[in-house]
């Protein structure tokens, strides 16, 4: 039986697009979601095993790991896509914001990678871990300080797990910038944001899907960060 690909945070945007891509290629998928959106029904109808997971607490991580080990004897890949985007504000407790961001963006991948190491190593072929980080790691953020710091921690985990899990498992990260707009974004905001990169486009989820597939296909890339930002670092 083909080992499944685990995709966290697969109920929308990049996670959903990659899950559907895998299913269209008849690859088994285990998809996690925090909020049951209509897309979860779509994934299940397409053949995905969808698992509710609340990574906001260690108990939630424990529960998910137990469920995963009951259902899978091996994994082809883990795509750590689950994310949140809490800003600092006058109404928020900085300690709580930092704890929440570190919990989902670094603690969750850290614990799942360690707990599921044997599932990756049990696969007959080469396997992968991909951490979805963020362009903001390069320059920080005045409005999302904890978010940026937690994604930087995730990027560092890429280096450590590439060392730990080699040579069987390749571990890389993808750092996207603008991939797609939200429905409510104004024309003024869109125009301003597009000017932040050399290529000046919002390429859509397919650009991230292609990059993810490249990493899974490549036999010789590990411990690397791929910037998916349209040349934003040069503007």
List the catalytic residues.
147
3-state secondary structure of 171: strand
Calpha distance 123→2 (Å, rounded): 9
Cis bond before residue 167 (omega within 30° of 0): yes
Which of 146, 212, 123, 204 lies closest to 173 in space, CA to CA? 212
Residue at token pair 């599921």:
116
Q: Based on the number of CB atoms within 10 Å of its own CB, is 167 exposed (0-12), middle (13-18) or buried (19 or more)?
A: exposed
Calpha distance 185→110 (Å, rounded): 34
Q: What is the DSSP string of 40-63?
A: HHHHHHHT-EEEE--TTSHHHHHH
Helix (H) or strand (E) holding 186: none
The tokens describing 210, both together, are: 């292609």
Distance, first Cα to last Cα, the chain: 47
83 backbone dihedrals φ, ψ, rounded to 5°: -155, 160
3-state secondary structure of 101: helix
């Amino acid at each position: 039986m083909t080992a499944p690909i685990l995709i966290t945070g697969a109920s929308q945007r990049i996670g959903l697009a990659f899950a559907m891509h895998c299913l269209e290629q008849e690859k088994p998928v285990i998809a996690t979601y925090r909020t049951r959106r209509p897309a979860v029904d779509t994934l299940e109808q397409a053949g995905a095993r969808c698992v509710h997971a609340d990574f906001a607490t260690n108990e939630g991580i424990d529960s998910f790991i137990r469920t995963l080990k009951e259902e899978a004897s091996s994994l082809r890949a883990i795509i750590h896509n689950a994310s949140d985007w809490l800003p600092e504000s006058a109404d928020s407790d900085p300690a709580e914001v930092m704890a929440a961001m570190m919990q989902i963006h670094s603690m969750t991948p850290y614990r799942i990678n360690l707990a599921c190491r044997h599932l990756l190593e049990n696969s007959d072929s080469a396997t992968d871990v991909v951490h979805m980080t963020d362009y903001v790691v390069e320059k920080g953020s005045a409005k999302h300080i904890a978010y940026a710091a937690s994604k930087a921690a995730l990027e560092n985990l890429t280096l450590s797990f590439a060392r730990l899990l080699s040579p069987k498992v390749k571990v890389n990260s993808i750092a996207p910038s603008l991939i797609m707009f939200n429905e409510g974004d104004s024309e003024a905001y869109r125009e301003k944001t597009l000017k932040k990169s050399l290529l000046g486009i919002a390429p859509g989820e397919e650009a991230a899907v292609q990059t993810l597939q490249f990493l899974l296909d490549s036999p010789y890339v590990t411990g690397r960060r791929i910037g998916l930002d349209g040349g934003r670092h040069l503007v």
